Structure 1
Amino acid sequence: MNIVPGRLYAVLTGDIIQSSRLTAVERKRIWDSITSDSKKMTEIFRSLELMGPEVYRGDSWQILLSEPHLAMRTAFYIRAGLKACHQADTRISIGIGTIEHLPKNGLAQAHGEAFRFSGTGLDRLEKKENMVCWLIEPVRMNKFQTTNETALLNAYLNTALYFASQLADAWSQSEAWAVYKALEGKTQSEIALDWLSQTRTSQQNVAKTLSRAGWSGIERFLWIFESHIRQYNLDGS
């Protein structure tokens, strides 16, 4: 990936929830899932480039995305895939900012705003919260001040994300699968033909499952996030 000075990028930093309970085989399956799902996003969105995921500290991972507006969609896709296919989950912190240095051999020695915001954001993630996004230096939410337009946008997006993430927290396996396929752009009829365990279901059941999963709310949130981040990137804020 060629880094353009001053351009905005997104970094996703995550850690697997309750990873100490996993066997070595289960861990590998989870890493394979995160890898394949992140790569799938580059197939769906041809303009998207990524590096990673790279695993560190045993249960943590990191991905660099060239298109920051697609960071949230990628994050929800990864969570849906883990819940649907492995009954696992991950916390995710998204950092959006510039990149100062990106070695060709990987992300371990990379640095810049996006890496700093994402990594620090995960370290400061509030208890019982699983997702956060930072466009500014991360702070504790109870100390957050909207001192400028970027800080105000950051607060607005994280407030919406708080509720969207809670929907994802509660997904059952079938609900996660329905959202997983919806995020791939599949229609309800197509999802019905590609149901869990290679079985089929009815379009009506898919519709009910998506409704229980809160898909319409998540879909609206993704649209709002992507619209704002596209404009934020154009403004060069």
Structure 2
Amino acid sequence: MINEGSLCAVITGDLVSSSELGYQRRGSVISYLHSSFGSIAEQLQLNDAVLLPFDIYRGDSFQVVLTCPERALLASVLLSIKLSLFGEETNDLAARISIGIGTIGHIPDSGNVGEADGMAFRLSGRSLDMMKERDQGLLVTTPDAVLNLMFESQCAFFDLISGRWTDIQKEFIFEKLSGLTQEGIALKKGRSQSTVSQSLSSAGFDTVKKFLSNYEELFKHPGIFVEGDE
């Protein structure tokens, strides 16, 4: 259980164009969503930081609460990449992901994420609704308006960059962000190290890595996230 006032991250998302999924494909996607987050949580050693478990609701939306908000952006980026690589016939699968940073006011004894409440939940949910109107893929929202301006522009740049990635670039970036070296990726994927290096460079990996590391660095100053929290 967390202390009152502790910062958390609520990750809320929904599948884009989910109404076009057939019944059989929808079941496969939901299963893939669960297994993908599970493997990412294990890779990032997040299992002890999951306050409320990964939950799918309304058939095409998902939510999870993390007590280590500094890892929420990386987890979300990895999940987004993982979804976009779901099978040869479904490589158009995409999700909008909204990260709300703030405090948690109520954790139900049932553990049902849908019954929880707090600033982080409200920020995440409201932003996801706005993202649908603005065709955004990723957004981080905090109680601080100035921080939100920065995150809005940074996430827009990420959407632009990631929207240009090829499948092989996505695979390489996923492995690199998961901790493999270029040599390790080359061995795993059966490619040369120079091919991996060139692919990561053309995909703008260093820029993406800077985006992620700068986000994590902000949590060394947690006070900036709680101004105006309610």
User: Given the two structures, how large is their TM-score scaled by the length of structure 1?
Assistant: 0.84
Instruction: Summarize the Cα distance change of 1:157–1:232 in structure 2 as closer, same or farther, 3 Å threshold.
Output: farther
**Contiguous gaps of at least 5 residues in structure 2:** none
**Alignment partner of 1:102 is 2:107:** yes
- CA-to-aligned-CA distance 1:91-115 (integer Å, 9 cap, x gap): 1011011111112332010110111
- Checking the alignment, whether the CA contact within 8 Å between 1:93 and 1:122 is kept in structure 2 is yes
Q: Superposition pairs for residues 106-121 of structure 1, below 5 Å?
A: 106-121=112-127
**After alignment, is 91-100 or 20-29 more displaced?**
20-29
Cα RMSD after superposing both structures: 2.0
- CA-to-aligned-CA distance 1:20-56 (integer Å, 9 cap, x gap): 2223333233333332332334333436521332111
**Contiguous gaps of at least 5 residues in structure 1:** 137-149
Post-superposition shift, 1:19?
1.2
Equivalent residue, structure 2, for 1:139: none
Runs (4+) of structure 1 exceeding 3 A deviation are: 44-48, 233-237
Structure 2 CA distance for aligned equivalents of residues 211 and 42 of structure 1? 27
Name which of 177, 180, 184 aligns with 1:186: 180
Post-superposition shift, 1:215?
1.2
- CA-to-aligned-CA distance 1:69-125 (integer Å, 9 cap, x gap): 111101100011111234111110110111111123320101101111001110011
Structure 1 CA distance for aligned equivalents of residues 158 and 98 of structure 2? 14
**After alignment, is 25-34 or 2-11 more displaced?**
25-34
Equivalent residue, structure 2, for 1:72: 73
Equivalent residue, structure 2, for 1:154: 148
- Checking the alignment, whether the CA contact within 8 Å between 1:10 and 1:67 is kept in structure 2 is yes
- Checking the alignment, whether the CA contact within 8 Å between 2:14 and 2:96 is kept in structure 1 is yes
Amino acid at match of 1:219: K
- CA-to-aligned-CA distance 1:121-142 (integer Å, 9 cap, x gap): 1001142211111102xxxxxx
Equivalent residue, structure 1, for 2:85: 84
- CA-to-aligned-CA distance 1:201-228 (integer Å, 9 cap, x gap): 1111111221232211110000111101
Post-superposition shift, 1:233?
5.5
Amino acid at match of 2:49: E
Aligned residues: 219
Equivalent residue, structure 1, for 2:30: 31
**Alignment partner of 1:168 is 2:162:** yes
User: Given the two structures, how large is their TM-score scaled by the length of structure 2?
Assistant: 0.87
- Checking the alignment, whether the CA contact within 8 Å between 1:17 and 1:90 is kept in structure 2 is yes
Percent of residue pairs bearing the same amino acid type: 31
Name which of 106, 125, 128 aligns with 2:135: 128
Q: Could you say what secondary structure the match of 1:101 adopts? A: coil
Structure 1 CA distance for aligned equivalents of residues 86 and 183 of structure 2? 20
Instruction: Summarize the Cα distance change of 1:85–1:226 in structure 2 as closer, same or farther, 3 Å threshold.
Output: same
- Checking the alignment, whether the CA contact within 8 Å between 2:9 and 2:66 is kept in structure 1 is yes
- Checking the alignment, whether the CA contact within 8 Å between 2:13 and 2:62 is kept in structure 1 is yes
